[in-house]
Amino acid sequence: MLFKNVFRTLKKQKVQLILLGLIITLSSFIFTSMNYGIGGILTPTKQYFEEANQEDFSISMMDYLLEDDVLYMQEQCILSTEVYTLSSLRNIDKPCYDKMIAFRLDTILKEYPNINIELREHKDLFYNVDGTSHKVRFLKETSNINTSYFVEGVAPSNGAEIAVSEIYAKLNNLVIGDTIDFNGKNYQISGYVLFPDYSLVILSSDLIFDNRAQTLALVSDDEFEALNATVGVEIAGDLFNMSKSDFESIVLDNYRDNTNLPFITNIVLTENNMRSGAIYGEIEGGQAMSLGISIMIASIAILIVRIMVSKVLHSQRGPIGILKSMGYKNSEITVPYIFFIMIMSFPMLVFGYFLGYIAAEPFKNMYLLIYLLPSTAIEQTVTTFITAVIVPFTFIVVVSYFIIKKILSQKPVELLNPQVSASANWLTKIVGKYLKKLKITSKLQHLLLYRNIVKFFVFLIGMFYAAFLILLSFSMIGVFDRMIVDYYENTNHNYIGYCDYVSSCTPLEGTQEGVIELPSVIMNDEEIYLVGLSPDSVIHPIYDKRGRVITSELEDGIIITKSLSLVKGFGVGDDVIIGVGDQEISFKIVAIAEEYSGEKAYINITTLSQTLTNTDNYYNTVYSETALNEVDFFIVVSTIDIVKQTQSMQQMINIAVGLLIVVSIVIGAVIIYILTVLTIEDNFYNISLFKVMGYNNKEIDKMILGGYLVYGISIFLITMPLAYFTFEYLQVFFAQYYNVLMPFEFKLWHGAMALVIYVVLFYAGAFSAKRHLNNISLQEAMKMYQV
Amino acid sequence: MGIKLENVTKIYTTGEVETYAVKNINLQVDNGQFIVLLGPSGSGKSTLLNVVSGLDNPTSGMIQIDDDLVSAMDSKQLTKFRRDNLGFIFQQYNLLQTLSVKENVEVGREVSTNPFTVEEVLSQVGLTPQTDKYPYQLSGGEQQRVSIARAVVKNPKIMFCDEPTGALDEETAKEVLGVLQKLNQTYQTTVVLITHNPSIGAMADRIIKLNSGEVIEDIINKNKVDAKEISWG
Ligand SMILES: Nc1ncnc2c1ncn2[C@@H]1O[C@H](COP(=O)(O)OP(=O)(O)OP(=O)(O)O)[C@@H](O)[C@H]1O
Ligand SMILES: [Mg+2]
């Protein structure tokens, strides 16, 4: 019979139950889809990194030949021309280059004998394929560290074969055996390859991972030598006889001060290396986040269960008191509630689990659009099922059990005589004092809220949750556009021409501007991308946060990008030392540019030119609004293409972010709606009583709804600055710990919109709750009230 | 043997103030009797009833019902004891709104080991035609009779009734009292009934008057009348 009672009572709360079901479903859905999606990559990836012996760290070194190098070179080689860089040496005299490299590697090993190192060479080439520019990074097979890994097919056996990434082939409708035409040179695809030092293809300072227009490629050694491009070198390392912590203390903390190793610009552990290690943070972060999100959602669900159950129990406290006086045991009263909570939540969790299982595959593929990693078909595991279904299920049931138990632990007399428990609490007493002078109706507005402290706090916390969630969703709108597209759209340099290293740059024409781009410069021990720009630059204006042009501030010091500021923690007013070539110049950071275009610093071009060449007008790169002649340059890059590619590639990401936004807003909205309905229904008896006493609807609305609305709006207003500071903090946190930029944005309209959503939902909830109340005649209402 | 109270005291402490709701009461009640507890508001009637029936603990004193020492029981034992022996009726009907009349009575029946049938009890309280109605479709007197049926169906040894007619008019009140009287006679159920109304004493075997937590009068009523014949004060 008690089952029937609980069932019929709950049936009256259909809407809330459906929304509750939605939330419970979401919690297991999000966890399952992310867990399986990531898991489908994680397991094979671990094996892949093992088999292909992923580097533990990577060493960048200067292309410039330093004093020691030159001495050694003069000793070892006979050169006809003067050479300043390793890359040009390689073109002129390969055997000498090999000696120089061996010399540097030996120098490193002499200092740190417990590691293994190997040279990692690459050549970048740009091709025009069907009108778009494709970038290809050619890699040479290595012997020990970072060996190639074949997802399918085999390594190229001759100069006419090539192995590319699977996603590149897929996105360009190519399969193994097909021929690729790279500017007239035909290669036959022999297989799909992965390289463990590249889980992201990072070919330039901007973070564009468009795998349709860029790929890593493996060719035979002879073919690699034949490629007409400057070689890029890096040293891959293996912690062969050394622990990671030893490496950190012995190598990482000291190499910069080691005078025997002046040619090393940077040593990065793989996990801190965007190109190879981003996946670690991403995957771990992703898994932690999915768990975090679903725990958060599950706790919201519990919060709602708590409110609903206690509401039901309180409305029946009289009958429950009678049941207890008749000798019903607490467990007998509890069981039906727990039973219904169980049969409601279990199917929902299972449903969410299966939806998540289905969504895992597309989710995984989204990852694989960006990351170059192996994947396997998604298989269900017991652990995931348990975490997605059994754990939250147990959690919900156990928490509900304790909530009910707590309510039932009161003595039957207390349940039967409301004055005992519904008496004034400390809060109503305190507030009552301050409200003494108000009219009784205004006073009631507040006192009705404080009547039940727990419920009041649940209301406030729930509203805070909802407000925060909604604001967070808004702040994510356009996150990725802000990261890349905005930068190029705000500037006018549609074409970038990189001049040849050897010959000097072509003279400037029309509105073209010459700039100096130095991709790897050390600023206070951090590697940055330095750009020498004119303070009067028209083609590349720099904007601050408020959208003002601040290019002219280059007269007073350097301007750094928001990315650099976030990731490396530099701020306005900092004095920094920049090492250019073998000189060190000190500057003050005068401004931060609202740009997420990479870890860049802008510097007055005249100063930089003076430092490098003792002249005023050196430049190595040309920014142009109109197309540049390719023959005049080493490479010409079209930013228009970049924007186009980014936009198409980021469509998927935008859809994902959009989904996340919608989900968060839905959850926020559900919370607001349910809390409103429940709190208003809570005042069921009061509303009827006031009606009986002759108050009209308007007055009652003011008394009952007014209070909640005022507090709800206040919470929203308080949440806004809090959310703002939290987002700022999150940005810094993500940047510094995960090297991930999250340009959250908080705009006034977000706040206004959130408030509108709140007020609309509040009235919707209030309206539906009141309609339900109005359907019951007054005399029935008075009879129904049980205490 | 019945109910036996020795030096039962209940003190409520609110802040600094101590209220002696029940003060040092000694009483003995035989089985099968119809007892009426009379007294002005605040005299301690409800408190005494709650303490005797194990809904609340006395501050001191001994309470024994038949062979069970109620005052020494923990809450688990009290639950079991009430389940097997007691029925309650209050001024508020406390019916489960989602359940029909019949279902509400079944709630009382389920805890019992030797219950009456629902039909029998409903016909005793005169509610057979209302069997499938819901509480909000009943009058106050009918609702109170449902709550009586719910208390009686388990076949309790003792029925505790706190102002069962407090919210009813004279006619309806007499009907309800008649039901209680009939149950007392038919099933030999001990009835302890609280009321403000001295005239109800006329139908009791014994009238106990309270004031300020103390028994001030204890009368055996030799001329018990039928509930219908009470001359309402
Ligand atoms: N929970 C409580 N806390 C403090 N004092 C209480 C409590 N319950 C009752 N009292 C006090 O104990 C005394 C007896 O109360 P009780 O409810 O037993 O009276 P009553 O005779 O049933 O009155 P009425 O006829 O109005 O129902 C009163 O003075 C009352 O104020
Ligand atoms: Mg009383």
**Residue B75: its chain A contacts at CB < 8 A?**
411
- H/E stretch holding A631: none
Mean confidence (pLDDT) of chain B: 89
Residue A11 CB contacts under 8 Å (≥ 6 apart), including other chains: none
Three-class secondary structure of residue A584 per DSSP: strand
Query: SS3 breakdown of chain B: % helix, strand, coil, rounded to 5?
Result: 35, 30, 35
* A531 vs B: CB within 8 A: no
Residue B6 CB contacts under 8 Å (≥ 6 apart), including other chains: B26, B61, B62, B63
DSSP string, A101-168: HHHHHHHHHHH-TT-EEEEEEEEEEEEEETTEEEEEEEEPPPSSSS--EEEEE----STTEEEE-HHH
Ligand nearest to the CA of A414: 1
pLDDT of residue B59: 93
DSSP state, residue B224? -
- pLDDT of A37 > 70? The answer is yes
Whether the CB of A420 sits within 6 Å of ligand 1: yes
DSSP state, residue B29? E
Tell me the ipTM for this assembly: 0.75
pLDDT of residue B3: 93
Average pLDDT in the B53-58 region?
86
**Residue B87: its chain A contacts at CB < 8 A?**
326
- pLDDT of A205 > 50? The answer is no
Residue of A691, A709, A689 lying closest to A699 (CA atoms): A691
Ligand 1 atom with the shortest distance to the CA of B213 = 14
Backbone φ, ψ for residue B210 (5° rounding): -115, 150
Mean pLDDT lowest for which of A13-17, A143-147, B33-37, B188-192?
Answer: A13-17
CA B211 – CA B20 distance, rounded (Å)? 11
Residue with tokens 């940047």: A735
Burial track B165-192 (b if 16+ CB lie within 10 A, e otherwise): beebeeebbbbbbbbbbebbeebebbbb
Q: Dihedral sign, CA of A605, A610, A615, A619?
A: negative
CA A137 – CA A134 distance, rounded (Å)? 10
Mutate to test the pocket of ligand 1, among B43, B91, B192, B196 (most ligand atoms within 8 A of CB): B43
**Residue A408: its chain B contacts at CB < 8 A?**
none
Residue with tokens 């700039």: A515
pLDDT level of residue B194 (50, 70, 90 thresholds): very high
Residue of A674, A26, A473, A668 lying closest to A294 (CA atoms): A26
DSSP string, A35-84: HHHHHHHHHHHHHHHHHTT--SEEEEE-SB--HHHHHHHHHH---SS---
- pLDDT of A331 > 70? The answer is yes
pLDDT of residue B28: 93
Residue of A17, A754, A31 lying closest to A352 (CA atoms): A31
pLDDT in tens, A537-569: 989 999 988 889 999 999 999 999 988 888 888
Whether the CB of B144 sits within 6 Å of ligand 1: no
Q: How many residues comprise chain B?
A: 233
Rg of chain B, C-alpha, whole Å: 17
pLDDT in tens, B64-74: 999 999 999 98
**Residue B103: its chain A contacts at CB < 8 A?**
1, 4-5
pLDDT in tens, A663-699: 777 777 887 787 777 777 767 666 766 666 666 667 7
Tell which of B79, B103, B111 to mutate to test the A interface (max A CBs under 10 Å).
B79
pLDDT level of residue A280 (50, 70, 90 thresholds): low
Chain A residue closest to B158 (CA)? A326
- pLDDT of A779 > 60? The answer is no
Residue A364 CB contacts under 8 Å (≥ 6 apart), including other chains: A36, A37, A38, A40, A41, A375, A378
pLDDT in tens, A401-439: 887 887 777 777 677 665 433 445 666 667 666 666 666
pLDDT of residue A570: 87
CA B202 – CA A256 distance, rounded (Å)? 106
Q: Dihedral sign, CA of A625, A627, A631, A634?
A: positive
Q: Dihedral sign, CA of A75, A76, A82, A85?
A: negative
pLDDT in tens, A496-518: 888 876 667 888 888 889 999 88
pLDDT of residue A426: 67
Type of residue numbered A758:
Y
Residue A160 CB contacts under 8 Å (≥ 6 apart), including other chains: A186, A187, A188
CA B62 – CA B71 distance, rounded (Å)? 6
- The rounded Å distance from CA B50 to ligand 2 centre is 10
Average pLDDT in the B161-167 region?
86
Type of residue numbered A419:
Q
Beta strands A57-61; A231-238: pairing state: antiparallel
**Residue in A319, A411, A786 closest to B55 by CB:** A411
Looking at ligand 1, which residue's alpha carbon is closest to its atom 27?
A: B41
pLDDT level of residue A129 (50, 70, 90 thresholds): confident
Cβ distance A608 to A573 under 8 Å? no
Share of chain A above pLDDT 90, in %: 17
Burial track A697-714 (b if 16+ CB lie within 10 A, e otherwise): eeebebbbbbbbbebbbe
Backbone φ, ψ for residue B13 (5° rounding): -115, 115
pLDDT in tens, A159-202: 899 999 999 999 899 999 999 988 778 999 999 999 998 887 76
* A787 vs B: CB within 8 A: yes
* B144 vs A: CB within 8 A: no
- The rounded Å distance from CA B44 to ligand 1 centre is 6
pLDDT of residue B25: 94
- The rounded Å distance from CA B43 to ligand 2 centre is 8
Looking at ligand 1, which residue's alpha carbon is closest to its atom 1?
A: A420
pLDDT in tens, B82-91: 888 888 888 8
The C-alpha angle A84, A205, A577, rounded to 5 degrees, equals 65
**Residue B154: its chain A contacts at CB < 8 A?**
326
Ligand 1 atom with the shortest distance to the CA of B22 = 14
Ligand nearest to the CA of B48: 1
* A657 vs B: CB within 8 A: no
Size of interface A-B (CB pairs under 8 A): 85
- pLDDT of A16 > 80? The answer is no
Reading the block at residue B194, the tokens are 């609280």
